[in-house]
Structure 1
Amino acid sequence: MEDLGAFLHSRRARVTPESVGLRPGARRRVSGLRREEVAQLVGISVEYYQRLEQGRSSSPSPEVLGAIARALRLDKVESTHLSSLAHPPRHPNGHQPVQVRPELLRMLDRMASVAALVINDRFDVLASNELGARLFEPVLAEPDSQRNLARHLFLSPTAADFYLDWDEIAAATAAQLRLVRARHPADSELAQLIDVLTAASQSFQTHWSAGDVELRAAGVKNLRHPDAGVLALHLENLDLPGDPRQRIVALSPAQDPATETALRCLATSPPSATVPAGTPTKP
């Protein structure tokens, strides 16, 4: 329950007394709500709320969790995350297959004008089409075990040049990993990835300690490719119902003629020898 306590503490720190109709009072030593103020808003004892934050109380009721979510002004994603932390899976399955269905590989091959990757929720790159391999060559040049978007983002010295929106992407990636860890606490590979990033990247530590959670979202991403130059790309995440921990990441020009031209040139350039198009990047 340690993660639950840390999450509650981080969310409590964001909420001011004034925003929930409380008087701030004098000589406050915290910028957010005090524990007793949260307990008052929720309608539980200070001792019980304190036990929750300290990880000494398990299985709070849905009613209590709902009241806490309202008191701390949690959004839908944060409320769901709170429930995942309070009630982790009883029979967690830490195994995640890395195989990509042959039908999906064939579909990737047919997406010639779109850069497409298949990744899992740990950000491992499992497969790509030809344009995806060319676009993400800096990532896919790594050994199989290190072809991971999060690892590249936080550990590669060239990542900040490749991702022009690096700060925004870094914050979102850490927040998504935190969400996945609550859903799959027994995933040892995920735990190992988080440990590596925490030990090696001060930026990851900073974003991770913020306690934020976030669902993957569509939007415009700006990249600087070593061959194609600056690209403005629209990113879509396409969930795969048959493979709930895998998704397609598809990037297309974001209504930018220069990007359209650059992608066409990239698509006709020699394919990457590192990652054959339309084939898995992992065994």
Structure 2
Amino acid sequence: MKDEESGNRLGSYLRARRELVSPAQAGIPPGGNRRVPGLRREEVALLAGISPDYYLRLERGRDTNPSPQVLESLARVLRLDDVERTYLLGLVAARPRPPRRKRPEHVPARVHQLLAHLQIPAFVEGRAFDVLASNAMAVALSPRLRPGRNRLRSFFLDPEEQAFHQDWTKAAAGFVAALRTTIGDDTDDPRFVELVGELALSSQRFRALWARHDVRNLDGGTTTVHHPVVGDLRLHRDKLPIDDVILVVYYPDKDSGSDEKLRLLAALSQSGPTDAAHSQSPDTPHPETS
């Protein structure tokens, strides 16, 4: 997290976002010898109603306490949505705090019981997308959902996981944006530093997406995945907070083709080796390749 290590998170975010706004989007006539992608600093300042010198100080970290009015103006110029605007305001609202003692992520015993009873793919993930527990159907859906695996590492470094997702490119962008939202101001958390550092070194796609500074909430939705045995499955995804962890469930529309395929997958998994729901601490990185 090189940009965060500099301590100038606000400037890094402003610079990344203005590079993603085209002059046409901002209503600026085309033409001229533009040497930078997106908007120039002085163009952002003009459109936001602040002086170019003041905006330069913001990007370079010389002023770390802009008013909410200035931030709202910048959010408008940079075409930020509600999640991105909230993130921008949070960069200024965050204040130095004493180091927090991290508690180990714990899966409550009742959640293990719930996983064992669910007949649909379900697993528990931590803040860094480590799989902490899963049921047999989750592992039957994807072996990468075994406890001890990390979903981000699998997503970017495992070719089988990339083939599993029908629209891997779109999903990758959302995943990285969700990681930024999850990290928040915990940029010095060793687990996040380790994970981001590994992925930045191993995956060019991750590096490009991380540099965009996108932020998104990775909530529920619908996705299509390709299972190597039963074929394409259209599944809904819900993420349910339980204490300090997240329960993730996948389920199809009732009586749909995907519902039938999921029942077939359940039958196949019962006829062979199955993994009972359990949990363990995240293991060492798997020997996956980019």
TM-score range, shorter chain: 0.7 to 0.9
Give the drift of 1:119.
0.8
Taking a change above 3 Å as real, the CA distance of residues 168 and 22 of structure 1, as seen in their structure-2 partners, is closer
Of the candidates 122, 128, 133, which is equivalent to residue 134 of structure 2? 128
Give the corresponding residue for 2:270: 270
Alignment of 1:204-223 (within 5 A): 204-223=206-225
Give the corresponding residue for 2:81: 75
List runs of 5+ in structure 2 lacking aligned partners: 1-6, 283-290
Residues 149-176 of structure 1, C-alpha deviations (whole Å, 9 max, x = no match): 1000111132222222211111111111
- Taking structure 1 as the reference length, the TM-score comes to 0.85
CA distance in 2, matches of 1:230, 1:187: 38
Name the count of aligned residue pairs.
274
Of the candidates 161, 169, 176, which is equivalent to residue 163 of structure 2? 161
**Are residues 1:104 and 2:111 paired?**
yes
Residues 56-75 of structure 1, C-alpha deviations (whole Å, 9 max, x = no match): 33232323222211222211
The SS at the match of 2:184 is helix
Give the corresponding residue for 1:56: 62
The SS at the match of 2:246 is strand
CA distance in 2, matches of 1:207, 1:61: 29
Of the candidates 82, 87, 94, which is equivalent to residue 93 of structure 2? 87
The SS at the match of 1:122 is coil
**Are residues 1:2 and 2:26 paired?**
no
Residue pair 1:181, 1:191 contacting (<8 A) in 2 also: no
Give the corresponding residue for 2:47: 41
Of the candidates 11, 20, 23, which is equivalent to residue 14 of structure 1? 20
CA distance in 2, matches of 1:201, 1:3: 23
Residue pair 2:17, 2:212 contacting (<8 A) in 1 also: no
Residue pair 2:136, 2:274 contacting (<8 A) in 1 also: no
Residue pair 1:4, 1:85 contacting (<8 A) in 2 also: yes
Taking a change above 3 Å as real, the CA distance of residues 165 and 16 of structure 1, as seen in their structure-2 partners, is closer
- What is the root-mean-square deviation in Å for CA atoms of aligned residues? 2.6
Residue pair 1:133, 1:272 contacting (<8 A) in 2 also: no
Residue pair 1:139, 1:152 contacting (<8 A) in 2 also: no
Taking a change above 3 Å as real, the CA distance of residues 46 and 256 of structure 1, as seen in their structure-2 partners, is farther
Taking a change above 3 Å as real, the CA distance of residues 117 and 183 of structure 1, as seen in their structure-2 partners, is farther
List runs of 5+ in structure 1 lacking aligned partners: none
Residue pair 1:174, 1:208 contacting (<8 A) in 2 also: yes
The SS at the match of 2:270 is coil
Give the drift of 1:50.
0.9
